[in-house]
Chains A and B, each alone.
Chain A
Amino acid sequence: MKTSYQLMMLAGITAVLSASCTTVKEYQKNRLNDGEMTLGNRKVEKTELSFESYREGASGANGAKSGGGCGCN
């Protein structure tokens, strides 16, 4: 019940944001193309993502490894 409520909220937020999207031309993407705006992990975060997945029960949905390797210690 709680999960479906959260999914509905996510779908609602997505719908609102999609509706508010404006077309951005290539020459208008100078800010979006900035290195800091990358929608992904920085390479420097590599070991942080590893230890978080080992020290916590949750993993995935962050572009990091979701299995393989031990990480047992």
Chain B
Amino acid sequence: MKKLNLAILAMFAGILFANAQAPADTSTYKNRKLQLEEVNIVSSYYHQDGDHAAVTGGIGTQNLTDLSNSIQVTLSKYDTHDRKHTWNVELGIDHYTSASSDKIDPKTISSASSADTRFYPSVSWEMENKQGTTFGAGVSFSHEFDYQSVGANLLFAQKTHNKMGEFSLKLQTYQDNLKLIYPIELRTDANAGYGEHEDYATAGRKTYSGGVSWSQIVNTRFQLMFLMDVIYQSGYLGLPFHRVYFNDNSVHVEKLPDSRLKIPLGVRANYFLGDRVVLRGYYRYYHDNWNITAHTASLETSVKLSPFYSLTPFYRYNHQVGTKYFAAYQAHTSADEYYTSNYDLSGFDSHFFGAGIRMIPPHGVFGIQHFNMLELRYGHYNQSNGLQANIISLNLKFK
């Protein structure tokens, strides 16, 4: 598997460098200095509650609050071969509090994330030449108390000769490491963590994904995109602080297979209706080898109140057939090879609806010239198992 991945990466790097020497075209003037293209600040407040926390074996509060902030800076530059280089530098910080995580060890504050901060920087680069070929690469990092993740990706995209279609291929990997923090009653001398810095044992989780997409302009009002990913995960795929209660009332740590293959297929369709309405549709079929199957469909209608202000109501529906390894509180038996009471993996229907407002005034938001765009969006989410969530997000764009 490792050899295969290295071979794919080497082949991709070979293509990248072979195509990097496109002939120079100096017929048109382009500013070749590095320019600040835009800065995006995205902030969100998310709150959920329900009665099926995985930490407490499928019963108990799922109360959780997450405050998320990120800043993304986009820089660009044309080189002497007239190729456009774009760099994205992003820094994100999430702070969350979770009532259920406090139940890992209710007597202390050393639980994995009763309150925790996640810090996630990333950098990516893309280069597009005049033939419509794009190459890109990126790296990312994510850190929280009990979880670290390092990611890398490579991108190749090619537009058709008439610029009506574009094929893209993206290869990604995440190499994760998690601390094995067990529920207090399941800790032994061997797995309890010790010392001033709580040196817990760790486990790895690896994710490899290959994604292809094809976007196509159908006519002056309609465009489509087909997407397919193949995602393979291996390693410790459960979480050590998820309890499972068997029918004999014994308590265990969630146990799931050490590999997972996910195949999602998606299609996007955007249609400009008349002069003021844009319909943005999306459908995804998903299946994995844990026997989760899902159908997701969403529609966002963007209504242009004026050329500079849009109202965007949306609705998303998801139907999920749960994994065969899921059972509710005290429903598993000792005969089960794998077991979880995590309702995220169970069967349910979910609805997500809300609306956003987007403003791009010609002289800047609130008359501030470089304050290019403001978008505010609210959504309410509910699952048929009782989970309810609300989210409000704000995107400020400066350019």
Interface residues, chain A, with chain B CB atoms under 8 Å away: 3, 6-7, 10, 14, 17-18, 20-24, 26, 28-29, 31-32, 34-39, 42-48, 50-52, 54-63, 66-70, 72-73
Contact = CB atoms under 8 A, between A and B. Distances in A.
Interface in B357-399: 360, 375-377, 379, 381, 383, 387, 389, 391, 393-395, 397
Contacts of A35: 360
Contacts of A59: 231, 262, 264, 286
Contact of A67 (B209, B218, B290): B209
Given A37-B270, A60-B286, A47 B220 contact: no
A38 B304 CA distance: 15
B167 interface: no
Interface in B272-318: 272, 278, 280, 282, 284-288, 290, 292, 294, 296, 302, 304, 310, 312, 318
Contacts of B42: 43-44, 46-47
B395 A43 contact: yes
A1 B271 CA distance: 32
A35 B391 CA distance: 23
B224 interface: yes
Nearest to B285: A6
Interface of B: 40, 42, 44, 46, 48, 54-55, 64, 66, 68, 70, 72, 96, 98, 100-101, 112-113, 118, 120, 140, 142, 144, 146-147, 149, 151, 162-164, 172, 174, 176, 178, 207, 209, 211, 215-221, 223-229, 231, 233, 239, 241-242, 262, 264-268, 270, 272, 278, 280, 282, 284-288, 290, 292, 294, 296, 302, 304, 310, 312, 318, 320, 322-323, 344-345, 350, 352, 356, 360, 375-377, 379, 381, 383, 387, 389, 391, 393-395, 397
Contacts of B55: 73
Contact of B219 (A24, A56, A67): A24
Contacts, number: 215
Contact of B44 (A39, A46, A62, A73): A46
B280 A55 contact: no
Contacts of A63: 227
A26 B217 CA distance: 12
A66 B151 CA distance: 11
Contacts of B146: 70
Nearest to B219: A22
A61 B142 CA distance: 22
Contacts of A73: 55, 64, 96, 98, 100-101, 113
A49 B303 CA distance: 22
A18 B323 CA distance: 36
Contact of B394 (A38, A44, A55): A44
Contact of B265 (A10, A31, A39, A72): A10
B144 A70 contact: yes
Contact of A10 (B144, B241, B267, B344): B267
Q: Is the interface of B mostly helix, strand, loop or mixed?
A: strand
Nearest to B295: A58
B226 A14 contact: yes
Contacts of A44: 42, 356, 375-377, 393-395
Q: Is the interface of A mostly helix, strand, loop or mixed?
A: loop
Contacts of A26: 163
B218 A68 contact: no
Given A39-B268, A60-B231, A69 B395 contact: no
A29 to B, nearest CB: 7
A25 B284 CA distance: 31
A38 B300 CA distance: 12
Contacts of B216: 17-18, 21
Given A44-B393, A56-B318, A61-B286, A31 B221 contact: yes
B387 to A, nearest CB: 7
The 7 closest A-B pairs by CB, nearest first: A67-B207, A68-B174, A61-B266, A61-B264, A47-B44, A58-B294, A58-B286
Contacts of A54: 344
A10 B224 CA distance: 13
Contact of B149 (A21, A62, A68): A68
A61 B144 contact: no
Contact of B218 (A17, A36, A70): A17
